Amino acid sequence: METMLRLAFIDAGLPEPLINVPLIGPDGVALHTPDFQWPQYRVCAEYEGAAHNKDQQVKRDIRRARRVKAARWSEIRLYKDDAHAGCAAAVHLVREELRARGWRP
């Protein structure tokens, strides 16, 4: 799914994301390794597959989102419905957040 999303982002003309690269907080400590990130815009995205529905994973995901937000990044959480129709919803969400954070196509 991550490959399909990455290709959809690129095909839509979005900046190419970094893939599975640690997101570094202001103190130099790695906060998380998101599926996708656009560091120049402080935007990252995660695809939440079925494994993210388990109780312990939900807790980890919430803690992760709080760390990312505290570092003044925007985290976009994607799920299977966002991948329908050529990943149109995922592309829209990422495009709008990148624009809100300064990206100009």
- The CATH number corresponding to 2-100 among 1.10.3480.10, 3.40.190.10, 3.10.20.520, 3.40.960.10 equals 3.40.960.10
Residue 92, pLDDT > 60, answer yes
Domain spans in the chain, listed from the N-terminal domain onward: 2-100
Measuring CA to CA, which residue among 11, 1, 18 is closest to residue 91?
11
pLDDT of residue 50: 55
pLDDT of residue 54: 64
Distance, in Å, from the CA atom of 18 to the CA atom of 36, rounded to the nearest integer, reads: 6
pTM: 0.89
Whether 37 contacts 45, CB under 8 Å: yes
Q: Could you tell me the pLDDT band of residue 103, with boundaries at 50, 70 and 90?
A: very high
* pLDDT single digits (tens) 23-81: 998 889 898 899 999 999 999 999 987 555 566 778 888 999 999 999 999 999 999 99
